[in-house]
Amino acid sequence: MPSLEQARAWYPPQDPVHGFDHVLRVLELAERLGRGLGADLEVLRAAALLHDAAGAAPAPAAAAAAEQTEQAGGRATHELDSADFARSVLQAEGWPAERIEAVTHCIRAHRFRGAEGPSTLEAQVLFDADKLDVLGAFGVARTLGYALQAGQSFFAEPSARFLETGALEPGEPHSAYHEYLFKLRHVSGRLHTEPARRLAERRHAVMKAFFEQLAAEAHGDV
Ligand SMILES: [Fe+2]
Ligand SMILES: [Fe+2]
């Protein structure tokens, strides 16, 4: 099992969006949810520590391309790259193949817009723990942090086309508010486990209130 200090070194030291503090929150939530649900905690813990280890942070040069990459499913393969990295780490530790596969499935399936859905309890718990950290106060803070990193605004007026289809009009800037409309407001409805759904209620309400207030202030309504 990788130690916390080992895992810390895999993540950027100063990244409030995909840095190690996110991983620690996911680890704690995953262990809490997993314990209550009878999940395999060793698999879950390794998966949580490794889940964003490769390619999750936007490269410094990503700002200009962020709009397109986000729309095209930004950070498109970080779940696959992280799963490959996890395999090499756990093989070096001598884990048996089927337990490595249990961990790498969790990692491949943790992404909201990923191709592979979580098919084991451990993968569902990791997915839910990771998604709880895009809701609530930390979720809002991370979404604003991501917008800053990518050179996007906190708020831009969404087009009718974006509201209907989720696709940007030509020249329409992506913003943190767009991310809320397109993804974040749907996350709590996509969770897999009952205890995570309960935790998500307040986090969803906090995030919704923030982005509704943001839009109201941008429109000068309040
Ligand atoms: Fe991720
Ligand atoms: Fe994550």
Contacts of 72 (CB under 8 A, 6+ apart): none
Q: What is the structure's pLDDT at 45?
A: 98
Cα of 203 vs centre of ligand 2, distance in Å, is 17
Please give the backbone phi and psi of residue 175, each rounded to the nearest 5 degrees, phi first. Answer: -145, 170
Q: What is the structure's pLDDT at 200?
A: 98
Cα of 35 vs centre of ligand 1, distance in Å, is 22
Task: Tell me which residue has tokens 């309504």.
Answer: 221
Q: What is the structure's pLDDT at 67?
A: 35
Longest dimension (CA), the chain: 60
Q: What is the structure's pLDDT at 65?
A: 36
Cα of 23 vs centre of ligand 2, distance in Å, is 6
Cα of 108 vs centre of ligand 1, distance in Å, is 9
Cα of 173 vs centre of ligand 2, distance in Å, is 25
Q: What is the structure's pLDDT at 221?
A: 87
pLDDT, averaged in runs of 10, over the chain (222 residues): 93 90 97 98 98 68 36 66 96 98 98 90 98 98 96 97 94 96 96 98 98 97 86
Cα of 220 vs centre of ligand 2, distance in Å, is 35
Cα of 51 vs centre of ligand 2, distance in Å, is 6
Cα of 172 vs centre of ligand 2, distance in Å, is 27
Residue-by-residue DSSP string for 63-126: TTTHHHHHHTTSSTTHHHHHHHHHHHHHHHTT--HHHHHHHHHHHHT--TT-SS---SHHHHHH
Closest CA relative to residue 123, chosen from 140, 141, 101, 145: 101
Cα of 54 vs centre of ligand 2, distance in Å, is 11
Cα of 138 vs centre of ligand 2, distance in Å, is 12
Q: Which ligand has its closest atom nearest to the C-alpha of 48?
A: 2
Q: Which ligand has its closest atom nearest to the C-alpha of 139?
A: 2
Amino acid at 130: D
Q: What is the structure's pLDDT at 96?
A: 98
Residue-by-residue DSSP string for the chain: ---HHHHHTTS-TT-TTTSHHHHHHHHHHHHHHHHHHT--HHHHHHHHHHTTTTT-SPPGGGTTTHHHHHHTTSSTTHHHHHHHHHHHHHHHTT--HHHHHHHHHHHHT--TT-SS---SHHHHHHHHHHHHTTSHHHHHHHHHHHHHHTT-BS--PPPHHHHHHSPPPTTPPPBHHHHIIIIIHHHGGG--SHHHHHHHHHHHHHHHHHHHHHHHHHTT--
Q: Which ligand has its closest atom nearest to the C-alpha of 81?
A: 1
Q: What is the structure's pLDDT at 217?
A: 97
